[in-house]
Structure 1
Amino acid sequence: MRHILLTAVTVTAVVTVTVSCSSKKDSEPAGGGTSASAGASATASASTATSASSGTAVTLSTTWIPKMDEATTSQTEGVCARVSTQTCADHLAKIVLAGIDLQGAITEAGAERMYPRSGDELDKMMRASNSYVDEECLNDPTADLDGSQCFTYALDIMGAGASLQLTMTTDELKWQLGG
């Protein structure tokens, strides 16, 4: 039963992300986002980012730091104290989905070279997310035991989401100073 539930949650998440991504390609301008206003601000960021090839500074952080801050913030104290709970999984999914959107915005802006540290944090987040799902952490009572790898995966996702707020700014400043 647990496997069926986890599979259903995973399939739902993959379908949601796939539909979201394909809808964005068809209907939204550059940069991704989850709402009309987010799409508009991401478009502005992407158009600013296109100037990276001309040597001027990209400023995706202006749009994406607040989005990552919103994704990493929870009204539930100790939201992932028990990493096997649906509440924790939902919180982690919110962070990962924001990370996927950010990754898309960086790629669409052609700014991968400008955001190397941010790219590393996003890669770490995606690896941890895949491991959380592959290890079936959701609803697994052993996931909450001391020493469980599921805690590491949850911490990596939350930590990457929080550190992106700093690494984006650092990447932009380093780029402005010549690389």
Structure 2
Amino acid sequence: MTRGEKSYTRLGCGAARRAATRQATEDADATSVYPKTTGQFEKMAHVSDSYIDAECNGDPSAAADDSPCYGWALDMAMGPAMLDADLTIDEAR
């Protein structure tokens, strides 16, 4: 398996996960109740898929401030904290 094939496989899994999350969100009507939280879920899934698709893991250039990989890594690191804050905001409404 080549590196590109491996990424494609992972991306496919991410797309399936995102589709399942979106369907569960729609089934529970969670988007209207938790708009910020569901938006953060979507952002985290997109960032994760982008990071994998660009093969950022282990890429030495990913540490450069101007690299998209660097930005995605920061978004993934901050995602859980943002998710917690968004959930708190949604529940306060």
CA distance in 2, matches of 1:160, 1:101: 19
| Cα separation, 2, equivalents of 1:132 and 1:16 | 11
Q: Higher helix proportion, which one?
A: 2
What is the DSSP-based 3-state SS (H/G/I as helix, E as strand, rest coil) of the residue aligned with 1:136? coil
**Normalization by structure 1: what TM-score?**
0.41
Ranked by relative contact order (alpha carbons within 8 Å, sequence separation 6 or more), the top structure is 2
Q: How does 1:156-175 map to 2 (within 5 A)?
A: 156-174=75-93
Distance (Å, rounded) in 1 between the aligned partners of 2:88 and 2:20 = 17
Are the equivalent residues in 2 in contact too, given 1:128–1:153 (CA < 8 A)?
yes
Are the aligned partners of 1:6 and 1:138 in contact in 2 as well (CA < 8 Å)? no
**TM-score between both structures, scaled by the size of structure 2:** 0.70
Q: Please, which runs of 5 or more residues in structure 1 have no aligned partner?
A: 22-98, 175-179
Give 1:160 shift.
Answer: 2.0
Are 1:14 and 2:19 an aligned pair? Answer: no
CA distance in 2, matches of 1:5, 1:130: 15
Count of residue correspondences? 93
Query: Out of 34, 37, 50, which is 1:118 matched to?
Result: 37
Shift of 1:119: 2.1
Helix, strand or coil for the counterpart of 2:29?
Answer: coil
- Aligned CA RMSD, in angstroms, stands at 3.0
Structure 1 residues 103 and 168, CA gap change in structure 2 (3 angstroms):
farther
